[in-house]
Structure 1
Amino acid sequence: MNGDHVIAIYESIAELTKEMLAAARASDWELLASLETRCGKHIATLKNFEDTITLSEQHRNRKIDIIRKILEDDRDIRNLTEPGLRRLSALIQSNQTEQKLVNTYGIGS
């Protein structure tokens, strides 16, 4: 593996995060999860090999640009998904409370 390979992996991650953002905008949670899994595989590859590679200044600059884009997309994905996750958490909490009441007092819906 060399600097070009490292950059190619970062570019693949950037493309996947772009697709993840599109999936989040479309509320396609299954696709989002699938893309996230694929992205994780690329990240694992980088973790295994990147420390052994010395990047040229050009590669380092390109890597920085790619990471900035990945982080922007990640922020946008979180902004789209967090409200739904908070609602889901509240619903789960409500259901747990209701179940405790049923178990304790034998009442509920």
Structure 2
Amino acid sequence: MMDSLEIIDLYENIAVITDQMLNAARGRDWELLTKLETDCTSKVQRIRDSETNSLLTPELKERKIRVIKKILADDKEIRDITEPWMLELSNLMKNSSTTRKLSSTYGAGSTA
């Protein structure tokens, strides 16, 4: 079981990762974004497994709130960047699938 300071440190580590994720999304580095997301997910799970309802000092509570707000702001901006890209990718995949179906149905390279 982690103590309160260790939990706060883990939140701060997640904030660093979400900042890196945001930079990867801005740079359209989807591979790095995916790797960082996996790392972030494992740290979030550690918090879920370890965090207790222990009382935080006002200073630690404020620190935790500040870090969570930053994580959420980064997450929103990441989604703002990735959701249009995911839609674009989905449309490309649909178009590719439609092209394959048409080709299969009407024969590739057939002449009229």
Q: Same fold (TM over 0.5)?
A: yes
Partner Cα separation in structure 1 for residue 88 and residue 109 of structure 2: 21
**Residue 103 in 1 paired to residue 86 in 2?**
no
Q: How many residues are paired up?
A: 108
**Residue 18 in 1 paired to residue 19 in 2?**
yes
Query: Which deviates further from its counterpart, 40-49 or 79-88?
Result: 79-88
TM-score by length of 2: 0.85
Q: Aligned runs of 1:28-107 on 2, under 5 Å?
A: 28-50=29-51, 52-58=52-58, 59-107=60-108
State, as a whole percentage, how many aligned pairs show the same letter.
45
Structure 2: runs of 5+ lacking an equivalent? none
Could you say which structure has the larger radius of gyration?
2
TM-score by length of 1: 0.87
Partner Cα separation in structure 1 for residue 40 and residue 109 of structure 2: 43
1:87: Cα distance to partner?
Answer: 1.0
Name the one with the larger helix percent: 1
Alignment CA distance shift 1:6-1:103 (3 Å): same
Residues 2 and 53, structure 1, Cα contact 8 Å, conserved in 2 = no
CA RMSD after TM alignment = 1.8
Residues 19 and 35, structure 1, Cα contact 8 Å, conserved in 2 = yes
Residues 21 and 77, structure 1, Cα contact 8 Å, conserved in 2 = yes
